[in-house]
Amino acid sequence: MKDHFSIRVASSDDAEEVTALLQVAYPRLMAASYTPEQLRALEIMTQANLKLLQSGRFYVVQNEQGRVVACGGWTCERPGNGGVEKGLAHIRQFATHPDFTRQGLGRMVFEQCQNAASAIGIAEFECYSSLNAELFYRLLGFVAVKPIDVPMPNKVSFPGLLMRRPVGSRVAES
């Protein structure tokens, strides 16, 4: 099935399509795990991060029609405070359009991230997983470290999980 999709490095030209994807995917996929009040925090989370899009470390997956149906990337900077820890990278803004889940697209994006991070000596990935994405990350080899609450500007706390995984270890087949 992955033969019908292509992956490439994103650019700032992809901002509108990435935002549209996030605005469709996050509310639909997170609805079962969060309250309506918590989902209001998605206003902020569903905007494409231009710095990330311009980093060369963010990827988009397109279907045969050229539509962006999945995305994700990584940074050396920690989300929120921008801190950098040697050998540690952070998974950022992963999403798959709800009509295209369970087709290996998120795994395709992750493998791209892992290859690029490994090439520059990153030893470990960390991610702030939403509650609904825990299984996805666990299947990629991530382990939950602890529950987290991400404070949002609208004074809503967004619960999730801090998860970690060694870079370079093989991704298990699902």
Instruction: Scan for tokens 């509108």, then name that residue.
Output: 16
* Residue 80: pLDDT band with limits 50, 70, 90: confident
Q: Is residue 33 part of a domain?
A: yes
Q: Are the C-beta atoms of 75 and 89 separated by less than 8 Å?
A: yes
Q: Is residue 95 part of a domain?
A: yes
Q: Is residue 132 part of a domain?
A: no
pLDDT of res. 61 = 98
Q: Is residue 159 part of a domain?
A: no
Q: What is the mean pLDDT of residues 151-167?
A: 86
pLDDT of res. 2 = 59
Q: Are the C-beta atoms of 125 and 152 separated by less than 8 Å?
A: no
What token pair was written down for 118? 């490994």
51 sits in which H/E element: helix 50-53
Domain hosting 20: range is: 2-124
Which CATH number does the domain housing residue 78 bear? 3.40.630.30
* pLDDT at 77 > cutoff 60: yes
pTM (predicted TM-score): 0.91
Q: Is residue 173 part of a domain?
A: no
State the chain's mean pLDDT as an integer: 91
Q: What is the mean pLDDT of residues 104-122?
A: 95
Q: Is residue 171 part of a domain?
A: no
Q: Count of domains in the chain?
A: 1
Q: Are the C-beta atoms of 73 and 58 separated by less than 8 Å?
A: yes
* Residue 41: pLDDT band with limits 50, 70, 90: confident
Q: Which residues contact 1 (CB under 8 A, 6 or more apart)?
A: 103, 104
Q: What is the mean pLDDT of residues 10-28?
A: 96
Q: Is residue 49 part of a domain?
A: yes
* Cα 68 from Cα 57, distance rounded (Å): 16
* Cα 110 from Cα 36, distance rounded (Å): 29
Return the number of other C-beta atoms located less than 10 Å from residue 91's C-beta: 26
For residues 77, 159, 59, 124, the Cα torsion angle rounded to the nearest 10 degrees is: 50
* pLDDT at 60 > cutoff 60: yes
Q: Is residue 92 part of a domain?
A: yes
* Cα 12 from Cα 10, distance rounded (Å): 7
